[in-house]
Amino acid sequence: MTSNHEHAAGRRVVANIGLSLDGYYRRSGDEGIAYLGDAEVGYDQIVRTIETATTAVLGRVNAEEFLVWWPSVIGTEKVDPRDEKYAKWLVAAEKIVLTSTLTESPWEGVRVVNAPAAELIAELKSTGQGDILINWSASVIKQLLAADAIDRLNLVVAPVLGGDGIRLFDDDNPLTDWKLVDHQVSGPGVLALTYDRVR
């Protein structure tokens, strides 16, 4: 089932993250989820997402990795064109890091904010244009799920059981309805699922 991803009026908040079948985004010992790193459908999903996104919101931990590593892949020999496209998008996009530990940005062209995620998102949605992307920053995504402040949820689901680690979905999240607007499957059974919040 695919769709043309019709764009609603206003800025959407789009969260993008990978999970195990049982909902873990990180295994115990800070180990990633198998299959997600090479999931072709995940690559394609993020490239579609950045076509309409203009702002990246990151948690501090992700920012420390993303804002160093991604720019370094631009122009690298044999880099996947989708990786390079995302890297170029991230460099050009408005970038905001949510943090309670930094008072000024160590990265050029990046704003740091110490505020609840939902408060920042409300500010961003009232100004500017283009979608707001939270890519793999689980701490930010979890806050926004709790505040019912996500409009589109991109999940890349690996055919493994996490067994132990950190789950994305908390038991006390509000009851919300979602509509599946796109799904793709690749190689070893990795699913790329796109859900829009039904309001």
Please determine, for residue 2, whether its predicted confidence score (pLDDT) is greater than 60. Answer: no
Residue 100, both tokens:
């309670």
Q: What is the pTM for the complete model shown?
A: 0.92
Structural domains of the chain, count: 1
Give residue-wise pLDDT tens across range 72-117: 999 999 999 999 999 999 999 999 999 999 999 999 999 999 999 9
Q: Give the residues across from 94 on adjacent strands.
A: 55
Query: For position 71, which CATH number holds?
Result: 3.40.430.10
Helix (H, G, I), strand (E, B) or coil at 115: coil
Q: What's the CA gap between 42 and 17, in Å, rounded?
A: 9
Taking Cα atoms as reference points, which of 44, 55, 185 lies closest to residue 133?
55
Could you give the CA distance from residue 80 to residue 85 in angstroms, rounded to a whole number?
9
Count CB atoms within 10 A of the CB of residue 86: 20
Give the helix ranges, DSSP H, for the chain. 40-50, 60-72, 81-92, 117-125, 138-146
Inside any domain, residue 113: yes
Over 70: is that where the pLDDT of 3 sits? no
Asked if the structure places residue 3 within a domain, the reply is no
Is residue 8 assigned to a domain?
no
Q: Is 159 part of a structural domain of the chain?
A: yes
CA dist 29 → 32, 164, 175, 184 (Å): 9, 9, 31, 30
Summarised one tens digit per residue, pLDDT across range 49-64 is 999 999 999 999 999 9
Give φ, ψ of 96 to 5 degrees.
-130, 130
Q: What is the mean pLDDT of residues 3-25?
A: 79
Does 26 reside within a domain? yes
Q: What is the mean pLDDT of the chain?
A: 91
Classify residue 129: in a domain, yes or no: yes
The reply to whether 69 falls in a domain is: yes
Domain presence at residue 1: no
For 158-187, what is each residue's pLDDT tens digit? 998 877 888 999 999 999 999 999 999 987
Distance between CA atoms of residues 171 and 174, nearest Å = 9
Domain hosting residue 131, numbered range: 13-198
Of 161, 190, 195, 193, nearest to 40 (Cα)? 190
| Spatial separation of the C-alpha atoms in residues 149 and 41, rounded to whole Å | 25
Output the pLDDT for position 33: 80
Hey, what are 146's tokens? 């709790």
